[in-house]
Amino acid sequence: MKTQTLKQELSETKYQIKLAKNTATFIWGSTPQTPLKSSIDLKTRINPKELLSLANEFNIPVEKKKILVQNLEVYNRLLIYACVRPSLGKNIESIRKLEEQILGMTSWDAHYWASAFRELWWKHGKRAELQSIIKAFRLFFEI
């Protein structure tokens, strides 16, 4: 029964995050199992355990190496975290502030920042091109 429910959730999922060794790929679309290049919102280096821990805070189902997100707002929050987190290095205080910000931000803030990150990713396809907006995010939220 549990397997059937998970298969149903997977088929209804429009947003997912594929996790590899140290990489997360954010995918949206009606066919996330076979994503088109245009349906990739972000690909970044991040420790998958951190993203899984944050997904757990939102009670998001995980199947093998995929975080299955049914809610755009939660997807946006995870995308923001994955985008900003690598810029913090090993600074525990900054990482904690980022987590608190992600959990406490308004849905409008999450939508705005995730859209800004996505648009730059779609335009350039390189994480290096996101550095100015990552810096703006960190300055705005004092991280």
Lowest-pLDDT choice from 64-73, 96-105, 131-140 = 64-73
Residue 70 has pLDDT above 80, yes or no: yes
Q: Which residues contact 13 (CB under 8 A, 6 or more apart)?
A: 32, 68, 69, 70
Position 85 scores a pLDDT of: 96
Residue 10 has pLDDT above 50, yes or no: no
Distance between first and last Cα of the chain = 44
Please give the Cα distance from 137 to 84 (Å, whole number): 8
For residue 60, the enclosing domain spans 2-140
* Structural domain count, the chain: 1
SS3 137: helix
Residue 13 has pLDDT above 90, yes or no: no
Position 81 scores a pLDDT of: 96
Confidence of residue 12 (pLDDT cuts 50, 70, 90): low
Is 57 within 8 Å of 103 (Cβ atoms)? yes
